[in-house]
Each structure stands twice: as structure tokens, then as C-alpha cells.
Amino acid sequence: MRNIRLTLLSLSILIAISCGEEKKTKSIEPISVKTMTIGKNQELQNTQNIGFTGKIIANKKINLSFQIGGTIEYLKVDMGDFVKKGELLAEVDATAYREQYQAKKAQAELAKENYERINEVYLKGSIAEIKMIEARSKYQQAKAAANAVYQNVKHSKLYAPTSGYIGAKIMESGDLASPGRPVYQLLDIEKVKAVIPIPDGEVNQLKTGDSAKVEIDALDNKLVEGEITEISIQSNQQNPVYIAQITIPNPDKNIKPGMSCAAFIDFKENQSNSTSQIVLPVQVVSVTEINEYFVYVAEDGKAKRKVVTLGKLYKNGIAITKGLKKSDQVITSGYHKLTDNTPIKLSK
């Protein structure tokens, strides 16, 4: 029994010794990354060329409506049709207005005959002047009333006030039209406008006549030249944002109202300290669950997380106003595999 115990004790010691042999630890493979050095590459950019997102609107938008009420008899054009100035677009039933005009016209003719007869007698000196004046006045009133009703007959037809495209067909044949109620929406897109929001910090740097470049997303990021033609004098009631409109030529009619766009404005330098900012590619900036923005910087063979403050959006990236300094090596490739203090190696 004693021998068995000694044997078991020996086996336990041997197992302990074997487990206690030097342990092999696995080293973490460094992540291969690429960097850009602030102040050496192109991330220090002139801050005059600022980008703003917006949308395209028509140069003119006209709501077309009848000046009288009535049942719409027919509509001649549809949405998307091009119409010329003076073209007939729609008509309401004018039967009642024509009958009213005929009645007023008959009264005017009777009043005219009565006036002419009384005037002849007056010229002969057979009646007092006041009788002639009364007859003339009644004739003039009857004539004016007939002309007023005739305007209703004319207004039973709706014509295009200018050339353009039908942007919307709001009513249909058989609908009851009323004065001021739109039937069509007419758009002038010979020129279009890019409507962009301008923060209060930049609005005073703009003036009408300034040039701008507008990028149209739906047209394969087509870049067109435009001119600032309108700047609002009052901001949005909820946000300190002003509205600017950039007029763009549209000879091919390819730029359609409603398209999204980005406008890039070259601000003139009006301050002596208006120099450069750090601008990084947008994709290298990440955000935490608590909405803190950060980038990774290469330091001593490791990736260091740096919390940054964002500035304005430019065509070539996003401005960094705080958190980085000149000579920092910002990681631009492989950053999605990193955490704070991850070992890294620089690749060419």
C-alpha cells in the first residue's frame, strides 16, 4: 500500500513538472497600415473652397389657375409636356357665362338705341339736357356690364403665360375649378437654381455675382459653373442657416428640379489669418457610440486613438480643427482593423 502511494506521488510530481515547463506565448501579429503625415502630404488645404449640399429647383415655378369657377371640360396637356407661350392648356364650361353675356349685351344695345333717340331729340332742343345725360349714363353702364361679363367668357380658357414644361397636372377633366385653385404647375428650366444652406459664419462672405461650382449627383457628378443670384437676409427660425441660390445654365434640360447637388464656393480671403487647416479623407474619421469622432495615429509602432473635432466639409475631405498637430502620422489604410494600442507596421 505504501508503494502504491509513493508511485502516485511520483506521478503527480512528474505531471506538475511537465505542466510547469516554459510556456509559449503567442505574439500578436502587427497590422499592416498606410499613413499620411500632416504637413507633408496634401492634407493641409486652403479653406476657401467650401462645399454645401442642396437641391435643384426650377428657375421659375408658376401655378396656373382659372380666374373663374366652372367644370373643367378638357385638359390639353399632360405632365412633362413642353408648352409655348400663349398655348391653350385647358377650358371650363362657359355656357352660363355666354348666356349672361348675351343678356348684358342685349341690354347694352337697347340702352344704346334709347340714348341715340333721346340725343336726337335733345339736339333739336325738344327735351332737357338732363334726360340726355341720364340716357347716356345708362348706356355706358350697360356697356360696361356687358364687357365685364365678356371677360368671364374669355377667362374660361387657360393659356400658358410663358414657355416651359408642365411640372404637375393637379386637376382632371370634370373637376370643379375655382379662382386661384391650381390646375397645372409650369416650370421654366432654361436655367435652374441650386438651393443651398449657408451657416451664419459664412453668409457675410458671400455676395450676389460670386461664382460657384455645382456637382450634380444624378448626372455622374457632373460639375457645372454657376453664379450666386440670391442670398436670404433672414435665417431659418429654428437654425442660424441662410439660403443662397446659384443660377445654372441648362441648355440641354438634363438638370431636373429635385436633383440633389453639392455646391463649392471659393470664398475670398478677407482676414489676414485665414491660412490653412488640416483636411483628412472623410472615410478615415470614425465615430464612437457617444458621438465622439476619432482617428488613428501611428506612434512607436502602435495605433493610438485620437479624439478630434470636425470642421467644415470640403470637396477633398473634412477639416480637423482640434486633436491633431503637424507631423502626426494619420493612418489611412487598415484603420478598420485597429483598436487603441494595436501593434502596427507601416507598408509602402
Give the C-alpha distances (Å, rounded to integers) separating 298 from 29, 34, 56, 80, 332.
Answer: 16, 9, 43, 57, 10
In this structure, what are the phi and psi dihedrals at residue 274, rounded to the nearest 5 degrees? -80, 90
Is 271's pLDDT higher than 50?
no
User: What value does the mean pLDDT of the chain take?
Assistant: 85
User: pLDDT-based confidence at 269, cuts 50/70/90?
Assistant: very low
Spatial CA neighbour of 83 closest among 158, 162, 155: 162
Is 75's pLDDT higher than 70?
yes
Q: What is the pTM of this model?
A: 0.58
User: pLDDT-based confidence at 303, cuts 50/70/90?
Assistant: very high
What is the per-residue pLDDT for 310? 87
Is 257's pLDDT higher than 70?
yes
Is 305's pLDDT higher than 50?
yes
Average pLDDT of the segment spanning 126-154: 92
What is the per-residue pLDDT for 45? 47
In this structure, what are the phi and psi dihedrals at residue 39, rounded to the nearest 5 degrees? 95, -10
What is the per-residue pLDDT for 27? 65
pLDDT per position as a tens digit, 181-211: 999 999 999 999 999 998 887 888 888 999 9
Rounded percentage of the chain residues whose pLDDT exceeds 90: 57
What is the per-residue pLDDT for 22? 45
Is 15's pLDDT higher than 70?
no
For residues 343 and 301, what is the distance between their CA atoms, to the nearest angstrom? 6
4 or 68: which leads in pLDDT: 68
Average pLDDT of the segment spanning 276-282: 80
User: pLDDT-based confidence at 275, cuts 50/70/90?
Assistant: very low
User: pLDDT-based confidence at 23, cuts 50/70/90?
Assistant: very low
Rounded percentage of the chain residues whose pLDDT exceeds 70: 85
Average pLDDT of the segment spanning 304-308: 93
Is 324's pLDDT higher than 50?
yes
Of 78-92, 127-141, 233-247, 262-276, which range is least confident?
A: 262-276
Handedness of CA 260, 265, 271, 275 (dihedral sign): positive
What is the per-residue pLDDT for 79? 94
Is 261's pLDDT higher than 60?
yes
Sketch out the chain's domains with CATH numbers: 31-46+276-346 (2.40.420.20), 51-59+192-266 (2.40.30.170), 94-154 (1.10.287.470)
pLDDT per position as a tens digit, 335-348: 888 999 999 988 86
